[in-house]
Amino acid sequence: MAKTRKREEVKKEDTWALEDLYASEQLFEEDCGRLAGMIEEFPKYKGRLKEGSGVLLEMLEDYSGMNKLFEKVYVYANQRLHQDMGNAASQKSAASTEVWMDKMNAAESYMVPEILGLPEELLAEYCREERRLEKYRHFLDEIFRQKPHTLDERSEEILAKVGELAKASSNVFTMFNNADITFCPVTDEKGKEEPLTQGRYTAYMQSADRRVRKEAFANLYQGYAGFKNTLAALYEANAKKTAFYAKMRNYGSSLEAALDDSEIPVAVYDSLIDSVHGHMEPMYRYMRLRKKVLGVEELHMYDVYVPMVQEVDMKVSFERAKEIVKEGLAPLGKRYQALLQEGFDSRWIDIYENENKRTGAYSWGAYGTHPYVLLNYQESLNDVFTLAHEMGHALHSWHSDQEQDYIYAGYRIFVAEVASTCNEALLIRHMIENSRDKQEKAYLINYFLEQFRTTLYRQTMFAEFEKVTHEIVDEGGTLNAETLCGIYLDLNKKYYGTDVVSDEEIQYEWSRIPHFYRAFYVYQYATGFSAAIAISSRILAGEEGALEGYFEFLKGGSSKSPIELLRLAGVDMAGKEPVEDALEVFEEYVGKLEKILAGGQREI
């Protein structure tokens, strides 16, 4: 294995251009000084909003300017840290920006209660009198929309101060899951005993050796089972915290409170679950195909991740990856192609792994400069899809930044994965349709189907688990290990069907899901995936207005509610159609894979 390079050994052209944010350390420090002054000055508007429209405008302009400058400082410091996590100077800079965040949040904490203290008729008069307030109309409307759930200044201050305490269950779980829990080792395919870690688990579950998969599966869940009561107490504590905040803010349920921030009706959540329930048969059919192709008498939970098709050896250079992504995204038009090329040519991307570089991939950036993408490119097919995915995020941000003022440029989580997943959907369908190799085509279809299984079905199962368990707490009930395991095992049986053995160990899976500590978050993966499939299908079908509507969505930022923004792209997430249409695409591709794999051979 090649030795991982030090940061200073990486070619400049393979790194991102952080100098586009700050050309020198001095300029960064100067902005930190400016930010400190803005934070110190901001409380000067407290108690003054009734003086006139000019004071309100000045406060909102300063609020926007302060947050915009903070974003630039914060992004620069943290991206510089992420390229070399071992750099002491970068660690110090990034830590200092966390302090600035706390100070800024404290300095602006009076703002919303003060705005809500204005009579609505006076605010309307201000907006008529000062036309420059018009751009803040949606921002102000959002504040007043939340008025029934906003407390008095003293209560808000108390809730803010207990925020750190409220993170306890999440923080304890994170430390336990990442640092403390250990698992019995696994004997690999060559008979060598190897450690089992969170990072290695997926690789073991994709092993062609069934014994390895079974051993890894049993050992992992044996580890969690040993702490089932502690983990149940943590889960219940987090659910109680969520219920506490919902009740304090006058919501009818924890679910309603979680969804309201993004203006998502509870009916959307329920509709997702109902739609998936109505399309379980394609999933059962997919599992029957898996059972047949693997040639096993019983299909167990440790068999659902192993590739059904022999992996295609596709070593893809980064230069070739850029070409493949551009080819796959050609339906988005020449302008989008030009922006992709600009990102490739202008060092938006930090491409390769180096020593102490942050793992994984993301897109980030600050308003007023181009977006950035962090990769750890390893020349695999999966890395090609990651490039398309992250450039989807990047160009969503680019379009939003170009069209919107800073205050509306950011987009909400509900729509955050749509553009990135739309890119992946366009790319995979392009590769499937253009593949002339039978094995490669089967491999790509299987890859696509796994996205449906793990994102649409699995995340909806998680969402249903959260709904059931949080309702118990909302109604004053308690959650223990037996209850949680029973609910989870029943759901696993429902979602995988009778052709899959729901092994006893799978009942503990709820105890290892980090996202459960951010309540009612995971459903957005399923809805975002469904919206992306719907949009990509409309674009590929050449529907009139599909492309234009999609770009209107990309430009929208947070200027409208997520539901309204997606309607611009021709997708109405308030109805069942997008989810049901996505599930029909899944069924279509199950049929295609069945035809290619007719006869059940693993090698084609």
Where residue 52 falls (left for φ over 0; alpha for ψ -120 to 50; beta otherwise) is left
pLDDT-derived band at 424 (thresholds 50, 70, 90) equals: very high
pLDDT value for 179: 84
Amino acid present at 220: L
Q: What local confidence, expressed as pLDDT, does residue 2 receive?
A: 58
User: What percentage of the chain carries pLDDT values higher than 70?
Assistant: 99
DSSP type of residue 359? P
Burial class from Cβ neighbours inside 10 Å (0-12, 13-18, 19+) for residue 584 reads: middle
Closest listed residue to residue 306, CA positions, set 243, 240, 213, 395: 213
Question: Among 154-158, 243-247, 441-445, which stretch is predicted with the lowest mean pLDDT?
Answer: 154-158
Contact 263, 561 (CB under 8 A): yes
Fold of 7-161: Butyryl-CoA Dehydrogenase, subunit A; domain 3 (1.20.140)
CA-closest candidate to residue 63, choices 91, 84, 42: 42
CB neighbours of 450 closer than 8 A, spacing ≥ 6? none
Q: Strand 372-374 to strand 500-501: parallel, antiparallel, or no bridges (unpaired)?
A: unpaired
CA separation for the pair 452, 283 (Å, rounded): 9
- CA 29: distance to chain centroid? 32
Domain ranges of the chain: 7-161, 244-345+381-604
Sign of the dihedral through C-alpha 437, 441, 443, 444? positive
Catalytic site residue from 71, 215, 236, 390: 390
pLDDT given for residue 604 in this prediction: 42
pLDDT for the residue numbered 555: 98
Entry pTM: 0.91
Q: Which CATH class is domain 244-345+381-604?
A: mainly alpha
What value does the mean pLDDT take over residues 287-316? 92
Q: Comparing C-alpha atoms, which of 474, 462, 463, 414 is closest to residue 251?
A: 474
* Pairing relationship of beta strands 193-194 and 372-374 according to DSSP bridges: unpaired
CA 525 to chain centre: 7
Give 601's pLDDT tier (boundaries 50, 70, 90). very low
**Main-chain phi, psi angles of 372, to 5 degrees:** -125, 155
Residue 547 φ/ψ, nearest 5 degrees: -70, -45
Establish whether 40 is a catalytic residue: no
Q: How confident is the model at residue 385 (pLDDT cuts 50, 70, 90)?
A: very high
Question: At residue 600, does pLDDT exceed 50?
Answer: no
pLDDT by residue (tens digit) across 390-423? 999 999 999 999 999 999 999 999 999 999 999 9
The radius of gyration of the chain from alpha carbons, rounded to an integer in Å, stands at 25
pLDDT band at 121 (very low <50, low <70, confident <90, very high): very high
Mean model confidence pLDDT for the chain: 95
As a dihedral over the C-alpha atoms of residue 24, residue 30, residue 34, residue 40, rounded to 10 degrees, the angle is 120
> Where does residue 500 fall: left (phi above 0), alpha (psi -120 to 50 degrees), or beta otherwise?
beta
